[in-house]
């Protein structure tokens, strides 16, 4: 007898599997620090927290271990990997270099493209300001991530996008973990606006400089917070 194929929806598209659902739910909880660095629990406990069964959680954990987000400990459950300051320093070295180059490339695009991208970046920046005004720090963090993702994606360099995708989860975890301790949220909004202005003015060198300075300042604010929290790989 032939085996049944993957479940499909009414439109013929393949539906996400239970493992995909568990992977997405666990990754979201890790990225947003609902599962905080250093948190350890049995697969069954994590499954209960997510409202899922144990088997897909186990398979999802294997995938997340390959990405460096968890460690699967035999007979001891799943450990959410800590965020080590030295790791974040290396990650920011990459971010600073790539985002400066991305901003420079975007600022060199034709006027119509710069206007479109500038409008998208401005929308994310205003979402940050509005989230901060109402005290919604998770929304601030999400809008901040969308700003930087848009900047990279619109630079038109596929390798740059792929490199950034490998470190986005860790940088987002650090962002969300330290948001309540950071004092410079206004500075991030102002710096984003300066990056946008340089892009709109077709100033590649200025956009490069503003993007680098923004990420350097963010790094210098973030690393001491991680040191203070004492987060290390276990």
Residues 122, 35, single domain; the answer is no
pLDDT of residue 8: 47
Q: Are 221 and 125 in contact (CB under 8 A)?
A: no
Domain with residue 35: its CATH number is: 1.10.10.10
pLDDT of residue 43: 93
Q: How many domains does the chain have?
A: 2
What domain range is 161 assigned to? 85-229
Residues 89, 122, single domain; the answer is yes
Q: pLDDT tens digits for 200-216?
A: 999 999 999 999 999 99
HEC sequence for the chain: CCCCCCCECCCCCECCCHHHHHHHHHHHHHHCCCCCCCCEECHHHHHHHHCCCHHHHHHHHHHHHHCCCEEEECCCEEEECCCCHHHHHHHHHHHHHHHHHHHHHHHCCCHHHHHHHHHHHHHHHHHHHHHHHCCCHHHHHHHHHHHHHHHHHCCCCHHHHHHHHHHHHHHHHHHHHHHHHCCCHHHHHHHHHHHHHHHHCCCHHHHHHHHHHHHHHHHHHHHHHHHHHCCCCC
Residues 23, 104, single domain; the answer is no
Residues 101, 210, single domain; the answer is yes
How does the average pLDDT of the chain come out, rounded?
87
> What pLDDT band is residue 133 in, cutting at 50, 70 and 90?
very high
Segment 6-34 mean pLDDT: 73
pLDDT of residue 12: 43
Task: Tell whether 26 is covered by a domain.
Answer: yes
Task: Tell whether 133 is covered by a domain.
Answer: yes
CA 46 – CA 38 distance, rounded (Å): 14
First-last CA distance in the chain: 49
Q: 61, 80, 99: which is the final residue of a domain?
A: 80
Place of tokens 């479109």: 116
With a cut of 50, say whether residue 157 has pLDDT above it: yes
With a cut of 80, say whether residue 20 has pLDDT above it: yes
With a cut of 50, say whether residue 14 has pLDDT above it: no
Task: Tell whether 22 is covered by a domain.
Answer: yes
Directed axis angle between helix 85-107 and helix 204-229, to 10°? Answer: 160
With a cut of 90, say whether residue 114 has pLDDT above it: yes
More confident residue, 62 or 228: 62
Residues 107, 206, single domain; the answer is yes
Task: Tell whether 120 is covered by a domain.
Answer: yes
More confident residue, 192 or 6: 192
With a cut of 50, say whether residue 83 has pLDDT above it: yes
Task: Tell whether 11 is covered by a domain.
Answer: no
With a cut of 80, say whether residue 179 has pLDDT above it: no
pLDDT of residue 153: 96
Task: Tell whether 12 is covered by a domain.
Answer: no
Residues 114, 208, single domain; the answer is yes
More confident residue, 229 or 31: 31
Domain with residue 200: its CATH number is: 1.20.120.530
With a cut of 50, say whether residue 58 has pLDDT above it: yes
pLDDT of residue 227: 81
> What pLDDT band is residue 67 in, cutting at 50, 70 and 90?
confident
């Amino acid at each position: 007898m032939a085996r049944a194929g993957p479940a499909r929806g009414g439109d013929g598209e393949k539906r996400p599997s239970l493992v995909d659902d568990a992977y997405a739910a666990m990754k979201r909880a890790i990225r947003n620090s609902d599962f905080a660095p250093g948190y350890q629990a049995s697969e069954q406990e994590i499954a209960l927290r997510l409202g899922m069964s144990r088997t897909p959680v186990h398979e999802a954990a294997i995938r997340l271990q390959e990405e460096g987000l968890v460690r699967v400990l035999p007979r001891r459950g799943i450990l959410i990997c800590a965020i080590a300051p030295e790791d974040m320093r290396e990650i920011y070295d990459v971010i600073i270099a790539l985002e400066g180059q991305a901003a420079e490339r975007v600022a060199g695009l034709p006027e119509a493209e710069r206007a479109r991208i500038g409008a998208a970046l401005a929308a994310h920046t205003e979402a940050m300001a509005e989230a901060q005004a109402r005290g919604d720090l998770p929304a601030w963090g999400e809008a901040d991530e969308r700003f930087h993702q848009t900047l990279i994606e619109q630079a038109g360099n596929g390798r740059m996008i792929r490199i950034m995708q490998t470190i986005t989860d860790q940088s987002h975890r650090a962002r969300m973990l330290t948001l309540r301790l950071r004092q410079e949220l206004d500075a991030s909004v102002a710096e984003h606006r300066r990056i946008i202005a340089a892009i709109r003015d077709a100033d590649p060198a200025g956009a490069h400089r503003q993007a680098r300075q923004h990420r350097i300042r963010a790094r210098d604010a973030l690393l001491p917070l991680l040191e203070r929290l004492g987060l290390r790989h276990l």
